[in-house]
Amino acid sequence: MKQWLENIRKGYGKKLLSIHAWNAWIVVILAISGLMLVGGFWREILGIGRVWLKWLHIIVGLAMLAPVVYYLLLASKHWKQLRNRPWQKVNTIIVLALLVGWLISGIVLWQFKLTGPRWSNAALLIHDLLTWVGLPYIIYHSITRTKWLKDSSRRAVKASSSLEGTSHTADLAGTSDENATAAATALSSLGTERASGEKSPDQPEKPQPVYTRRAFIRSAVGVVLVVTLGPTFVSWVGRNLSIDNSIDSMLENDPNRLNPLPQPAAASSPPIGGGAEGHFRVYTVTPIPSFSNENWSFRIDGLVERAQVWNWEQFVKLARTVQVSDFHCVTGWSVYKNTWEGISLKQLLTQAGVKPEAHSVKFYSGDGVYTDAITMDQAQMDDIMVAVMHDGKPIPADLGGPVRLVIPQMYAYKSVKWLNRIELIDSEHIGYWEERGYDKDAWLTGASQRIPNIS
């Protein structure tokens, strides 16, 4: 084992440089793909490509384990080299913590069905936080170390070993600019020594200015990152730590213009669930639609005895019930203890009368694009609701209002937003995200009514 480790550590400087370069490219790919996965703009235009991009993100994320493990095999030698450089030690620890944190939280999000909603919710929060901290950190060090590319004497890593009394130098001068850029980025983020550009102890020290140009550049880059990323980061902190009430803000800017507003039942205001815990993330596959009394209607048709059509004034007069349930997104986040008020799906189907040949219930979104479906057996679950209110307030358009479907025991891509039509059909229907790789049955871990009590 000892001999094997010695063989692994031969050519330590070049190997360390190679690890840093690969790690830099991995971080770049993960950053770009991760930002595209959460961006609403890309969700609209990628289509099925989003599923492929998600798998690219997962595979590259798992690949990050290789440079981390390889570095750990070299860590003892690197640590000895840094024994008199406490800030570089701190830098190395920070970067390793970021990489390991990203890796572990990413694996939990990848295996969300095994870990359950609470673990995946915590993992998503950690993954986001590490991204907000890690990316600016790496960007800052990358930009402020651009002198590596301008000065060929600094394109080398000299790793000296006190045990062997030798030094290994890995020169980047012969590499391409792109590879040099990646290596410089990684080297700066892991704090590798710029030994070849340093003054010899025998050379006289020149007077140093109080505030050097290099220090000014670093400060300027830091200020720019704070100004550009700071407000968005503060907004993210506010949403996730409940510093502000984002649903109230959505209602203030709600594009829907429907009158009269639904009036909450006594159990909705104040909400019997005590108020939702968590934050809804707004995901759409189309621009968010808006509705008014003139362009909104709700219908139930297909294989029913009595097709039903309501305008808004008629729909808000239907008897509603109240329930408390958790809301889980397949991307890993959850909102707990939501108080929903609306009409039971079972009640609507009973009122319309189901024909014997009906196999599935198909749901249509008012965006004109999104659809999904469940079987008739699944439709017998007592807690499926056509919701009109959330926590005693109208549902804003950002969250799928004025009317949305809520299926608490399935992941939220089944809970169609801007619901305006229910059709009973004689075959199964493959929904929008199922066509793009999602499971047809979106059961939560531990769902209690997979075989509903039809009696």
Residue-by-residue DSSP string for 149-164: HH-GGGSEEEEEETTT
Better-predicted residue by pLDDT, 418 or 18: 418
Picking from 118-122, 229-233, 372-376, which range would have the lowest pLDDT averaged per residue?
A: 229-233
Rounded distance between C-alpha atoms, residue 300 and residue 291, angstroms: 19
The CA distances from residue 151 to 116, 194, 199, 201, 212, in Å, are 52, 11, 15, 21, 17
Per-residue pLDDT tens over the stretch 253-291: 899 999 999 999 999 989 998 999 888 888 888 889 999
> In degrees rounded to 5, what are phi and psi of residue 308?
-120, 140
What the block records as the tokens of 255 is 């594009």
Per-residue pLDDT tens over the stretch 177-214: 334 344 444 434 444 433 334 444 555 555 555 445 55
What the block records as the tokens of 134 is 């890690």
Predicted TM-score (pTM) of the model is 0.66
Q: Please compute the mean of the pLDDT values over residues 209-233 and round it to a whole number.
A: 51
- The DSSP bridge pattern shows strands 360-365 and 419-425 to be antiparallel
Picking from 101-110, 361-370, 443-452, which range would have the lowest pLDDT averaged per residue?
A: 443-452
Q: Where are the alpha helices (DSSP H) in 64-176?
A: 65-81, 86-110, 112-115, 117-144, 147-150
Supply the Cα-derived Rg of the chain in whole angstroms.
28
Q: Map residue 72 onto helix, strand or coil.
A: helix
Rounded distance between C-alpha atoms, residue 377 and residue 454, angstroms: 8
Q: Please compute the mean of the pLDDT values over residues 159-180 and round it to a whole number.
A: 39
pLDDT score recorded for residue 455? 31
pLDDT score recorded for residue 182? 42
Q: Map residue 194 onto helix, strand or coil.
A: coil
- Residue 176 CB coordination number (10 Å): 9
pLDDT score recorded for residue 345? 97
- Greatest CA separation found in the chain? 97
What is the residue whose two structure tokens read 């006594």? 266
Q: Map residue 294 onto helix, strand or coil.
A: coil
Three-state SS for 418-436 is: CEEEEEEECCCCCCCCCCC
The CA distances from residue 89 to 13, 75, 111, 196, 218, in Å, are 17, 11, 33, 19, 20
Of 98, 88, 217, residue with least CA distance to 147: 217
Helix and strand totals (H; E) in the chain: 14, 12
Picking from 14-18, 57-61, 183-187, which range would have the lowest pLDDT averaged per residue?
A: 183-187
Rounded distance between C-alpha atoms, residue 228 and residue 140, angstroms: 13
What residues are paired with 387 via a beta bridge?
342, 404
pLDDT score recorded for residue 14? 78
Q: Map residue 371 onto helix, strand or coil.
A: strand
Of 65, 221, 231, residue with least CA distance to 132: 231
* Residue ranges of domains in the chain, CATH in brackets: 2-198 (1.20.950), 256-425 (3.90.420.10)
The CA distances from residue 165 to 61, 88, 160, in Å, are 38, 22, 7
Q: For the chain, give the mean pLDDT.
A: 77
- The DSSP bridge pattern shows strands 297-302 and 419-425 to be parallel
Q: Is the pLDDT of residue 84 over 80?
A: yes
Per-residue pLDDT tens over the stretch 401-453: 999 999 999 999 999 999 999 999 999 999 998 887 788 889 887 776 554 44
